[in-house]
Structure 1
Amino acid sequence: MAYHYARFGAQIVITARREKVLQQVAEKCKSLGAQQVFYIAADMGNDSDPDKVVEFALEMFGGLDYLVLNHIGPTPFGMWEGDVEHVKWLMKVNFFSYLQMAWRALDSLEQNKGSIIVVSSLLGKLPSPFVAPYSSTKWALNGFFGSLYHELWMKKSNVSLTICTLGLIDTESAMSKVKDLTTAPAYPATDAALNIITAGALREAELYYPYFTYIAALIKDWFPSITNYFIRTTFKYNT
């Protein structure tokens, strides 16, 4: 997404835990045409880092037009073995930090008629095996930001909110986790990224990528037996 924003000549702040990787991404963004690129290393599992990142962006630019919430904490996929502490930590990274950043950025986005873009997943709409901790965080995102969408509308806010429901995307980390668990097709990350930032720019309420995620979400309640069959045949479990 940062590379697409760079091609459009944006001013960008990016964050992740690894400073060396951030530096490499920032340099490529500059070569692609970004006006300015700043980065800040942060760990969304720390209580203060979500606020720190937004404050850094506001300090660099004086305001924000877009807040793209896309980070996730690493988690193994497989049968849940009862590690409640890991689920608590993952909720902190994948959910609570999103709330912190959105709230901290809201005043600036309001002034600039800006947008919040929340990257969620089809796993936040369809209960599936092997992903219980991860899926729970995505359900939480959909519930909270779905409610916030209505509240912003009721307050006649200038801020748009886009919730993105993604299928399996062929990022290196995603493919390494699911290679032995599912037969579901993976879709190109660069195309997903362009769809995400386009939906945010157009101030759309929802994005489904690829198209079948919308169909899957629709038929979940209409035809639960078909949905359950699809889920159980898509995932593989070796006893």
Structure 2
Amino acid sequence: MKAVGKALCAAGIVAGLLAFLWKDTFDPESLSGARVLLTGASAGIGEQMAYHYASFGAEIVLTARREAVLQRVMKKCLELGAKKVFYIAADMSSSSEPEKVVHFAVQKLGGLDFLVLNHIGMTPFQMWDGDVEHTRWLMQVNFFSYVALATAALPTLEENQGSLIVVSSLTGKIPTPFTTSYSATKFALDGFFGSLRHELAMQKKNIFITLCILGLIDTEVALEKTRGKVYLTAAPAAEAALAIIRGGATRVHEAFYPWWLQYMCRFRDWFPSHRDRVLQSYYNYSSP
């Protein structure tokens, strides 16, 4: 454990130096007039992203399942300064919805500069109970609909040298308890969009992909699910939303929020024999 302690100390020093030397290249003005399709926009991180994009003067199409809530979010976006806002209610568990949503957005905005994939299906935070059908449904919502949305949007993103922003999770980098099906969908996103990034580069297509890796965020749903099971302080949804937007606007390959998640992932790679010991310190293993 002494070696691990030294390694953590060294990693902390490196992280501190990088933070000191890092220069923020994000320019909010670059998003003025940007055309954005944002999924999962009715609550939580997606709602907060909608408000940030609006305050930067973007043109936005919002989508989620609940029409009444989308109308409320749209109204606030207009008050915050969005140049244009539209919404379309859609259920991403339906295989026909993604293409319809992209076509609606392109029609309303005349094209897309950013496709922000943020929606997720509701899933219990519990040990695996053998529900294969739920896992199939969750893969449709959390993975296959992302693939379908991205595929439909690739032509307009290529035309406008746009960006795909894919919201993922630490559970898509590190397997964690109580998230078997959810973690599988997030690992799938990492694999698919990481491979797609290479293929776009090989084809000389100027479409950028940013994968956003989030920790525990203080949304109502996340806090309720993890209470008594996870020993982590939840980070603010509004800050997480801004970190996602910054990552996409500055075209980084991976954006981590909170920032220290990047070093947790690196530590796990560098010291595989201690990976489970570190993870276990954040979970209540006596309360399944």
Q: 1:176 maps to what in 2?
A: 224
Letter in 2 for 1:97: S
- Determine helix, strand or coil for the equivalent of 1:191: helix
TM-score normalized by the length of structure 1: 0.97
Q: 2:44 maps to what in 1?
A: none
Letter in 2 for 1:39: Y
- Determine helix, strand or coil for the equivalent of 1:164: strand
Letter in 1 for 2:79: S
Q: Counterparts of 1:47 and 1:22 in 2: how far apart (Å)?
A: 21
1:192 aligns with 2:192: no
Which deviations, in whole Å up to 9, do the C-alpha atoms of 1:165-216 show, x marking residues without a partner? 1111111111111112101121111111111111111111111111121011
**Which of 115, 122, 142 is the aligned partner of 1:74?**
122
Q: 1:62 maps to what in 2?
A: 110
Which deviations, in whole Å up to 9, do the C-alpha atoms of 1:11-47 show, x marking residues without a partner? 1001111111101100000000001110111000001
Q: Given that residues 216 and 227 in structure 1 are in contact (C-alpha distance below 8 angstroms), is that contact kept between their aligned partners in structure 2?
A: no
1:142 aligns with 2:190: yes
Q: Given that residues 64 and 89 in structure 2 are in contact (C-alpha distance below 8 angstroms), is that contact kept between their aligned partners in structure 1?
A: yes
Identity %: 57
Q: 2:287 maps to what in 1?
A: 238
Q: Given that residues 229 and 287 in structure 2 are in contact (C-alpha distance below 8 angstroms), is that contact kept between their aligned partners in structure 1?
A: no
Q: Given that residues 217 and 236 in structure 2 are in contact (C-alpha distance below 8 angstroms), is that contact kept between their aligned partners in structure 1?
A: yes
Q: Given that residues 127 and 135 in structure 1 are in contact (C-alpha distance below 8 angstroms), is that contact kept between their aligned partners in structure 2?
A: yes
1:31 aligns with 2:79: yes
Q: Counterparts of 1:227 and 1:166 in 2: how far apart (Å)?
A: 19
Q: 2:179 maps to what in 1?
A: 131
Which deviations, in whole Å up to 9, do the C-alpha atoms of 1:38-92 show, x marking residues without a partner? 0111000001011111111011012000000000000010111000000000000
Letter in 2 for 1:115: S
- Determine helix, strand or coil for the equivalent of 2:168: strand
Q: Given that residues 215 and 258 in structure 2 are in contact (C-alpha distance below 8 angstroms), is that contact kept between their aligned partners in structure 1?
A: yes
Q: Counterparts of 2:130 and 2:272 in 1: how far apart (Å)?
A: 27
Q: Which runs of 4+ in 1 moved over 3 A?
A: none
Q: Counterparts of 1:225 and 1:233 in 2: how far apart (Å)?
A: 15
Corresponding residue pairs, total: 239
Q: Counterparts of 2:185 and 2:129 in 1: how far apart (Å)?
A: 17
Structure 2 unaligned blocks of 5 or more = 1-48
TM-score normalized by the length of structure 2: 0.81
Q: Counterparts of 1:141 and 1:10 in 2: how far apart (Å)?
A: 26
**Which of 149, 153, 170 is the aligned partner of 1:105?**
153
Q: Counterparts of 1:110 and 1:172 in 2: how far apart (Å)?
A: 37
